[in-house]
């Protein structure tokens, strides 16, 4: 079974580095791109020495052109930034946001709690908020991760938000 190419945006923060540590061990994921802002051109091993043993790409600045080569986009970014990336996704992409951009069901709640206007309100309804530790059975009903493992093509863009706090 072929591996799915992944892009990790926010790859040098704590959550991004922890995510990379999980992804390098996943048998169906190939980390194609690591993205950051102030860390462009560096290796992620600079942020965590345990990643030195893996062949990982250098950190790039996110560019929507990178999306043509990936299936899954992981975002470990400050609130609001995954919304900007989400505007560039096609129906063949899956976005897994590790922050709060697609956590709430209403844009008005996002403004209330995060003090900023949601910039991708049309995508909120497509998102599924997941707490794997709490609702694992419900997740299995809603999603087929076998589909993620078996296919690089999806009928519509999917947005997942995981609570990592």
* CA distances for 123 relative to 7, 14, 26, 71, 128, angstroms: 20, 26, 28, 18, 10
Res 159 pLDDT > 60: no
In the chain, where the domains are located: 4-162
User: What does 140-158 look like in DSSP terms, one character per residue?
Assistant: HHH--HHHHHH-S--SS-E
Angle at 69 between CA 65 and CA 75, to 5 degrees: 75
Mean pLDDT, to the nearest integer, of 46-54? 96
* Alpha-carbon span 28 to 150, nearest angstrom: 9
State mean pLDDT over 87-114: 89
Three-state SS string across 108-143, please?
HHHHHHHCCCCCCHHHHHHEEEECCCCCHHHHHHHC
In the chain, what's the furthest Cα-to-Cα distance?
Answer: 45
Tell me the CATH class for 4-162: alpha beta
Whole-number mean pLDDT of the chain? 84
The residue-averaged pLDDT of 56-82 equals: 95
Structure tokens given for 10: 């926010």
Of 125, 101, 36, 32, give the one whose Cα is nearest residue 71: 32
pLDDT-derived band at 145, boundaries 50, 70, 90:
very low
Instruction: Name, of 50-54, 126-130, 138-142, the range with top average pLDDT.
Output: 50-54
Over 60: is that where the pLDDT of 146 sits? no
Report whether pLDDT(68) > 50: yes
Q: In 3-state terms, what secondary structure has residue 71?
A: coil
Task: Decide: helix, strand or coil at residue 59.
Answer: strand
What mean pLDDT is predicted for residues 143-163? 42
Of 37, 133, 148, the closest CA to residue 94 belongs to 148
Question: Does 13 or 158 have the greater pLDDT score?
Answer: 13
Q: How confident is the model at residue 135 (pLDDT cuts 50, 70, 90)?
A: low
């Amino acid at each position: 079974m072929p591996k799915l190419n992944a892009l990790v945006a926010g790859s040098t923060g704590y959550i991004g580095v922890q995510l990379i540590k999980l992804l390098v061990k996943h048998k169906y994921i190939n980390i194609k791109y690591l993205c950051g802002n102030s860390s462009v051109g560096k290796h992620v091993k600079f942020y965590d020495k345990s990643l030195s043993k893996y062949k990982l790409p250098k950190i790039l600045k996110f560019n929507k052109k990178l999306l043509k080569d990936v299936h899954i986009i992981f975002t470990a970014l400050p609130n609001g930034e995954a919304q900007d990336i989400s505007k560039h996704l096609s129906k063949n992409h899956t976005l897994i946001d590790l922050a709060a951009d697609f956590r709430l069901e209403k844009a008005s709640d996002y403004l209330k709690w995060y003090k900023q206007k949601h910039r991708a309100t049309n995508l909120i309804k497509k998102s599924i908020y997941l707490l794997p530790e709490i609702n694992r059975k419900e997740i299995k009903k809603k999603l087929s991760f076998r589909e993620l493992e078996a296919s690089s093509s999806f009928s519509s863009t999917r947005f997942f938000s995981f609570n990592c706090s």
